[in-house]
Structure 1
Amino acid sequence: MARAKKNLRKSGRRHPLATAALVAVGLLVTGAAYAGFSQTSATAEVDLTSPATIEAGEKLFGANCATCHGAAAEGTPDGPTLIGVGAASVNFQVGTGRMPLAFQGPQGMVKPQQFTEEQTLQMAAYVASLAPGPGLPETQYLQADSDDEGIASGAELFRINCAMCHNVAAAGGALTEGKFAPKLTGVAPTHIYEAMITGPQNMPVFNDANITPQQKADIISYLKYIENQPAVGGITLGSIGPVAEGLFIWVIGLGAIIGLTVWVTAKSN
């Protein structure tokens, strides 16, 4: 009888690592759920028309932006007016880390965000309250579509309107006076859409009369498609076109052929 009880205890005993594994799984699930909730709920919880949100944004603006843009966003010699730029412009510039500027230069550089998403939206709400301007994009136009027709439409629109600066592979390109068109891979759909409707830096504005919201969504679908597709041609060489490819062939390819020829000749002698 005692032996049977002992066997029962042995059979019911857990592996020493079982508890640790359960704790690790629980932490992973909890962390993932929290991250997903905080990302999706931040925008939903911030009411851009709420007086409390606008007041909070005004305080943040006064402490962090007024030095360059003026106490009432009227602009100064160091920064343009923000009256009429809309919530979309603020969300793009601050959300991508371009603002506040790290240093004075030809254009703002992407860097880690200085403010939380909630704080960014509060400042966007304040600027939007000053005068009408482009608002935040609707969620329905931010979902990358896997439909071939939408991707093909986006590719054609991108080629006509964007590729001359950003490169057909969205790898970016050089402009004049030290400016450049940034690469568009790894950019959030929200910021791609906002860039099209606000025209940041040297980029033109593509309003809904030029490119409809659905066409903007198609462009986003195309960009996400090429971002997630493997390079079928092998090494991309930065995707900057025939100059890099020609240089690679002449320097590396031809150099390898010459080196091989010298080696074979020396060996035969």
Structure 2
Amino acid sequence: MRSGYPVLTSALLAGASARIRHVATNGGNINQRTRCHYFYDTNAACNKRAPGTGCAARGARNRVHAILGTSPDCIAAFPSDMCVVLAMLDATINLYGPQGARQVHARDYHRLPGSTPWLETVLRPGELVLSIDLPPVSFGRHYTYLKIRDLNFLALAVVSVAVGLQMDGDVIRHGRVALGGVASRPWYVPEIEDMLRGRRPSHILFRDVAERLVQGAMVDRDSTAKRTLAPRVIQHALWQAAIALPQPDGNLPVWSCAD
């Protein structure tokens, strides 16, 4: 995986310590629940934990909560780093259950909250995650996983960006971008592929791509800063991929919010 999918390696190393990675599973990663502190606080109202009780995060301390794909019933953000890259790569998740085998694109596996935020994935009762298929795609050295976090070591992303560009000289032949930390699932906008195709990297192009990715963002009390931060992180990640900024193991571009 380090040689064939280095961007996935970057996300895994940015997401957890070696001790956690040694006991974790891919199925557990994609099915992990939100780290919203109101979800874990049993004294707080949370529609994910107790449907119909409300969302205590709204109008409260919610700087790290979702700004895209939210609903009046939930603004929790999905925590996985790995899944952001799976969405960017267009990986396929293989499932098996009482009705037999089926495949789901990683981009479609997690649900938006809508009016049923307690339904977080498309996994059916009795189904198991068997494996994850990665498509035969290569970005060469033109990839990045950029994660902006708080100061705590291996903290969850405030905003993260996975970028893969297939370059033909100085022209982008094909490009993909996925976001983490901004929605209840990895955020992918297919239109971005058309915006990047056949274009040369430029500040105007990457600005337009960034603004399209956060189009429709809804901010609440403390999350205005995330709406301001996200386009800057997206543009920086696009430039890192375009110029093939090296990402050696152990020295990944994972920044703190103080940087």
Structure 1 length-normalised TM = 0.21
Higher relative contact order (CA 8 A, sep 6+): 2
Give the structure-2-normalised TM-score.
0.22
Q: Which has the higher helix share?
A: 1
Larger radius of gyration: 1
